[in-house]
Amino acid sequence: RKTPPIESIVSLLESDSIEARMGACVALEKLRGRAAEAVPKLRLALKDDNMWLRVCAASALSKIGKPATVALPDLLEMIARSP
């Protein structure tokens, strides 16, 4: 198999388009542990104003697994501030 274009997908997390950012989260979720390098950008997405982007980022982090455990404090903070 070809190596997935992870850097290109991660760069979409900084797009002005919410659809592109959410699509990047979905793609990273499907890559699971191979998307470990996306963890810092996904952690930033957890703080976005858009609730659905935060949900997508959290889902992607959960699928990445152990490399994403550094985001656990961010996830707990996100849960604590939810209505």
For 29-83, the pLDDT digits (tens) are 999 999 999 999 999 999 999 999 999 999 999 999 999 999 999 999 888 886 6
Would you state the pLDDT for residue 50?
Answer: 96
- pTM comes to 0.92
Angstrom distance (rounded) from CA 31 to CA 25: 10
- Three-class DSSP category at 69: helix
**Is residue 46 within 8 Å of residue 54, measured between CB atoms?**
yes
Mean pLDDT of 10-14: 97
Would you state the pLDDT for residue 1?
Answer: 66
Angstrom distance (rounded) from CA 49 to CA 21: 13
Mean pLDDT of 20-32: 97
Report the half-sphere exposure of 53 (CA within 13 A, side-chain side): 22
Would you state the pLDDT for residue 78?
Answer: 83
Angstrom distance (rounded) from CA 6 to CA 40: 13
Mean pLDDT of 13-22: 98
